[in-house]
Chain A
Amino acid sequence: MTAMESSPTRKVALKRILSRPGPFVDELNPEAYEFLSNMKILVIGAGGLGCEILKNLALSGFTDIHVIDMDTIDISNLNRQFLFRPSDVGKPKALVAAEFVMKRVKGVTITPYYGKIQDKDESYYSQFGIVVCGLDSVEARRWINATLVDMVDAENPESLKPLIDGGTEGFKGQARVILPTLTSCYECSLDMLGTQQTFPICTIANTPRLPEHCIEWALALEWPKRFPDKKIDNDNPDHIQWLFETAIARASEFSIDGVTYSLTQGVAKNIIPAIASTNAIVAASCCSEALKIATSCNPYLNNYMMYSGNDSVYTYTFEHQKKEDCPVCGVVASDFWIEQDWTLGLLMEKLTTTQAVRIKSPSLRTAEKNLYLQSPPQLEEATRPNLSKLVTDLVKTGEEVSVTDPALPFSIKLRIRY
């Protein structure tokens, strides 16, 4: 025990709650406070939500906190990521955030890791009691969710790590509690994500109407044509400027107005508006659940809360149901209906735009053969001719196709139906 824990004058309000029985809990855990201060807790993301989460956990009695983040600090983070100052721009978020909170809150240790969650394996994740996630990337959340589900060993209750996940957009956000294999998981709810704004290529190429169409034209069609060997860098002002000017020229050719620098940036980077207050709400909700789970001082969220502040104050709390055919925690393959005239190429395109699949570069195989593989190059070349073949010639109706993507640690099983 540290001097702080033993001090009867510290954390009085928290200890009072943990030591008194409450009308909404059946049993009091007499060791709740010790348990809390000895539990290792992992925070994924040290951005808008992450800064709040670290602060909240440090002030909630957690003393052994770890944080992972792969980003460095950008000036546009400063309107909400309150652990960073202008002089920190360019430094790793995880390091600066950890240092700041440790300096401010006595008796707390925060261990930062500047890197990707994929760098770590099960042995790393298994040391934590709870994982709190404040990410803006769908891909990273799918990865950690699948990893934690995969880690569950029915024989060993310790292997089940509650995952608390938060997300925001503008005045809206959500917080949820995932008990891997027991409750619905992140993958189960993938179809609840807002639809990605996509524009058909033929509109962009032939009949632009909106400023966004002109920007997409510059981004998706003109850039690769003009700079075939260069990947666009969204943080390079010369690149954004080029997109902006190219889009402007396109727009004036078609008498379309509304192309601005800010819109160009928004479309190119897929910028989601973010403010301090929404991060505060969602992060606090996540951490309040972490505290309740760690101490049993009150019942925890089962299992989803949505918040919206655009019009009045609105919350919707409900139990999101587990999906039988969830590729991560489910038990059966899901049906995927296709039209008779679909080619494999078209099926691939549909998979990338289907809400419940959302995969960027799918590789497809059946139990018997490879349909299309993105890599290695020789197999890509060998399977490429399949893209123009009809799916009905390659797959029997009812046959299972396994879809994989290098970004996801699991495969999606689809039963093709036609």
Chain B
Amino acid sequence: MQKAGETDVPRSATPHVVSARDRKYDRQLRLWAANGQAALEEAHVVLLTASAAGAETLKNLVLPGTGSFTVVDDKLTTEEDVDVNFFLDESSIGHPRAAKVAEFLQELNTDSVGRFESLTLSEFDKLDPSYWEKYSLVVAHQIRPSVLLPISKVLWDKKIPLVIINSIGFYARLRIVTPEHTVVESHPESTVDLRLDCPWPELERFAFGIELDGLSEMDHAHVPYLALLLIYLKQWKDAHGGSPPSTYAEKKEFKALIKTGVRSSDAENFDEAINTVWRATQATTIPSNSQAILNDDRAQNLSPSTSKFWILARAISDFTKSPSSGGHLPLSGTLPDMKADTTSYIKLQSIYRSKALEDRDWVASRVSELLLSLGRPADAISSDEVDTFCKFSRNLVVFDGRSLEEEYTPSTARAKKILQELEEENSLMSVYVGFRAVEVFEEREKRYPGTVEEVDEDEKVLKEIALEIVGSLGGTEVNERTASVLKEFVRYGGGELHNISSLLGGIAAQEIVKLITRQYVPMTNTTIFDGIQSSSAVWEL
């Protein structure tokens, strides 16, 4: 029974239809949008070694809809595997791990296509390099360096990112190996770029067209603070031979000047203006990060095979040198919210947007010219891509990776950094050295340290190996902290703890999503997680 006065919500004649797919992925589309999702759906990720950490990594990629995945492994499932890996069960024991893990992962999402291959480690180097071309990214868990280094070389040459994961006891390690990674949509905290120090004519006309004195109380309290700043900046400059407030004292005085304009207690817009004085009087410049990218050889010397990123960077570089830019980057066009009446705000917003559009058009036509000169179709880069690039031109990211070989060769290793870090209290670099030492131990003994009943000998051998590693980098000793970490490694006997493998799988998947979608900023290039201290460190090694 309806209560009196209760009305039914009318059913719309043209309801908005959300597809089942968009509903399923709603919570992630809010992070990486349709273009990020499309990149994910095109990706094919391969996992080498069907460990718990590897399966957990894939789980976090299959759920959001990564297009395809392949599990490569040559082992039969053991009880020990089932004890730590959720994507195996009692019935898997004795059956190929790759098949079982792929099967259980496949159940998570039918949008993702899973496969498996039984390849033994020794077969990897016999593979034709073209084998890897079907993959967009390779995840490798705990593969001994003698096998992994050659694979990493092939992948490096083919520019296929390699993500290495290691999980032993409470310790985890993640390494990203890729020669170059570029990001346009870095999702910075803000893309606001106000240009109050160098307003263009339309913006000035808007601000100077406002007669503050003639406004009603209500209108006066709704003048956007940007306009207030421009008005008072002009007043200041007129009184100071054309120069803006620059010293601390002058800025204080300038704030006082703005304050003289306050009429009523409701002056939120004036408060906003005063709070923005510091930023408003900063000169608009090109951030050094972006400038370095514009100046980079890859942008300045284009070739027919140059990627879109560098062609766009070149167009932006040309833009900043053109008279129409005044030496600035294209305007982002983003206007923050502020106390204002609707009409002024919308007007101001359209002034910023038109200017951004104007800058964008310049860049777009330059991009077409560059493409033609490289013998590529003038529309090979879409206008959306130009748009996004212009919008984020202050926040571009380029990482030049370091190869695994560079890390593992003493003459090119970051020796100084490593030795320095080892001296820090509770250093996580000790865990890194521990992982390296365990790798060598396993390579020599064909078993992990601590897998025997009597561990004293393993502890001794592992410490000797660590000393070899530290020694090769120019160090002279294995300090107390590192010795403790090595003992802890022996305690683990090379086994995985599910929690730590799951945590590592989470971190690895976040990084992989960032690499594949080319959104957000991935870490470079090594993360260590210490589950005892519950803390992490990142270094470029």
Q: Which A residues contact B (CB, under 8 angstroms)?
A: 9-14, 16-17, 20-24, 52, 55-56, 59-60, 75-76, 78-80, 82, 85, 104-106, 170-171, 175, 207-210, 226-230, 236-239, 241-242, 244-245, 254-256, 261-262, 265-266, 271-285, 287-289, 291, 298-299, 301, 305, 309-315, 317
**B149 CB–A CB distance under 8 Å:** no
**B305 CB–A CB distance under 8 Å:** no
Give me 8 A-to-B residue pairs in the complex whose CB atoms sit less than 8 angstroms apart, sorted by A's number.
A78-B63, A80-B27, A175-B534, A207-B345, A256-B342, A266-B30, A288-B503, A298-B531
- With both beta carbons as reference points, the residue of chain B lying nearest to A269 in the complex is identified as B26
- With both beta carbons as reference points, the residue of chain B lying nearest to A275 in the complex is identified as B28
Pick the contact of A82: B7, B23, B63, B85 (CB < 8 A): B63
Contact A237 B86, CB 8 Å, known A82-B63, A281-B510, A309-B510: no
Are A227's CB and B497's CB within 8 A?
no
Are B506's CB and A284's CB within 8 A?
yes
Residues of A within 8 A of B342 (CB): 207-209, 254, 256
Q: How far is the CB of A191 from chain B (nearest CB, A)?
A: 21
Are B510's CB and A171's CB within 8 A?
yes
Residues of B within 8 A of A277 (CB): 60, 505-507, 509-510, 513
Residues of A within 8 A of B89 (CB): 104-106
| Interchain CA distance A53-B524 in the complex, whole Å | 29
**Interface digits, B356-387 against A, CB 8 Å rule (1 contact, 0 not)?**
00000000000000000000000000000000
Residues of A within 8 A of B506 (CB): 276-282, 284
Residues of A within 8 A of B63 (CB): 78-80, 82, 276
| Interchain CA distance A19-B513 in the complex, whole Å | 38
Are B495's CB and A16's CB within 8 A?
yes
Residues of B within 8 A of A287 (CB): 499, 502
Residues of A within 8 A of B346 (CB): 209, 254-256
| Interchain CA distance A393-B454 in the complex, whole Å | 79
Are A312's CB and B523's CB within 8 A?
yes
Residues of A within 8 A of B169 (CB): 17
Contact A16 B491, CB 8 Å, known A9-B79, A59-B498, A230-B6: yes
Are A106's CB and B500's CB within 8 A?
no
Are A313's CB and B502's CB within 8 A?
no
Are B83's CB and A13's CB within 8 A?
yes
Q: How far is the CB of A37 from chain B (nearest CB, A)?
A: 13
| Interchain CA distance A245-B30 in the complex, whole Å | 21
Contact A317 B534, CB 8 Å, known A22-B491, A170-B31, A277-B60: yes
Are A271's CB and B30's CB within 8 A?
yes
Contact A207 B503, CB 8 Å, known A22-B488, A238-B12, A280-B509: no
Q: Which B residues contact A (CB, under 8 angstroms)?
A: 3, 5-7, 9-12, 15-16, 18, 20, 23-31, 56, 59-60, 63-65, 79-80, 83-86, 89-90, 107-109, 169-170, 174, 186-187, 222, 337-338, 340-342, 345-346, 450, 455, 484-485, 487-488, 491-493, 495-500, 502-503, 505-507, 509-511, 513-514, 520-524, 527, 529, 531-536, 538
Are A227's CB and B9's CB within 8 A?
yes
- 19 more contacts with CB within 8 A, not counting A16-B491, A288-B531, A315-B536, are A11-B83, A16-B495, A24-B532, A56-B502, A59-B83, A59-B498, A171-B510, A207-B342, A241-B11, A254-B346, A272-B27, A275-B510, A280-B509, A284-B506, A288-B500, A309-B520, A311-B520, A311-B521, A315-B534
Residues of B within 8 A of A255 (CB): 346
7 tightest A-B contacts by CB? A13-B495, A280-B506, A281-B506, A284-B503, A23-B484, A277-B509, A59-B498
Are B12's CB and A301's CB within 8 A?
no
Q: How far is the CB of B443 from chain A (nearest CB, A)?
A: 21
Are B502's CB and A209's CB within 8 A?
no
Are B455's CB and A242's CB within 8 A?
no
Residues of A within 8 A of B488 (CB): 22-24
Residues of A within 8 A of B341 (CB): 207
Residues of A within 8 A of B5 (CB): 228-229
Q: How far is the CB of B339 from chain A (nearest CB, A)?
A: 8
| Interchain CA distance A225-B26 in the complex, whole Å | 30
Residues of A within 8 A of B503 (CB): 280-281, 284-285, 288
Residues of A within 8 A of B64 (CB): 79-80, 275-276
Residues of B within 8 A of A85 (CB): 107
Are B493's CB and A16's CB within 8 A?
yes
Contact A52 B502, CB 8 Å, known A76-B26, A273-B28, A288-B170: yes
Are B533's CB and A317's CB within 8 A?
yes
Residues of A within 8 A of B15 (CB): 237-238, 241
Most chain B CB within a 10 A radius of its CB, from A210, A229, A279, A310: A310
Are A310's CB and B521's CB within 8 A?
yes
Are B523's CB and A210's CB within 8 A?
no
Are A271's CB and B491's CB within 8 A?
no
Are B60's CB and A274's CB within 8 A?
no
Q: How far is the CB of A401 from chain B (nearest CB, A)?
A: 27
Pick the contact of A10: B3, B83, B455, B521 (CB < 8 A): B83
- With both beta carbons as reference points, the residue of chain B lying nearest to A80 in the complex is identified as B63
Residues of B within 8 A of A299 (CB): 532
- With both beta carbons as reference points, the residue of chain B lying nearest to A212 in the complex is identified as B337
Are B492's CB and A17's CB within 8 A?
yes
Residues of A within 8 A of B492 (CB): 13, 16-17
Residues of B within 8 A of A9 (CB): 79
Q: How far is the CB of B114 from chain A (nearest CB, A)?
A: 14
Are A79's CB and B24's CB within 8 A?
yes
Residues of A within 8 A of B107 (CB): 85
| Interchain CA distance A87-B513 in the complex, whole Å | 27
| Interchain CA distance A406-B409 in the complex, whole Å | 65
Are B520's CB and A171's CB within 8 A?
yes
Are A22's CB and B60's CB within 8 A?
no
Are A280's CB and B527's CB within 8 A?
no
| Interchain CA distance A254-B505 in the complex, whole Å | 48
- With both beta carbons as reference points, the residue of chain A lying nearest to B23 in the complex is identified as A75
Are A60's CB and B498's CB within 8 A?
yes
Are A104's CB and B86's CB within 8 A?
yes
Are A283's CB and B520's CB within 8 A?
no
Q: How far is the CB of A307 from chain B (nearest CB, A)?
A: 8
Residues of B within 8 A of A289 (CB): 534
Q: How far is the CB of B89 from chain A (nearest CB, A)?
A: 5
Pick the contact of B59: A20, A82, A285 (CB < 8 A): A82
Are A209's CB and B6's CB within 8 A?
no
Residues of A within 8 A of B83 (CB): 10-14, 59
| Interchain CA distance A227-B174 in the complex, whole Å | 55
Are B532's CB and A275's CB within 8 A?
no
| Interchain CA distance A289-B37 in the complex, whole Å | 34
Residues of A within 8 A of B521 (CB): 310-312
Residues of B within 8 A of A244 (CB): 16
Contact A12 B527, CB 8 Å, known A312-B522, A313-B507: no
Are A210's CB and B337's CB within 8 A?
yes
Residues of B within 8 A of A14 (CB): 83, 495, 497
| Interchain CA distance A10-B455 in the complex, whole Å | 21
| Interchain CA distance A311-B519 in the complex, whole Å | 10
| Interchain CA distance A79-B80 in the complex, whole Å | 29
| Interchain CA distance A369-B531 in the complex, whole Å | 53
Residues of B within 8 A of A238 (CB): 9-12, 15
Q: How far is the CB of B229 from chain A (nearest CB, A)?
A: 18
Residues of A within 8 A of B24 (CB): 75-76, 78-79
| Interchain CA distance A315-B174 in the complex, whole Å | 14
Are B535's CB and A315's CB within 8 A?
yes
Q: How far is the CB of A130 from chain B (nearest CB, A)?
A: 14
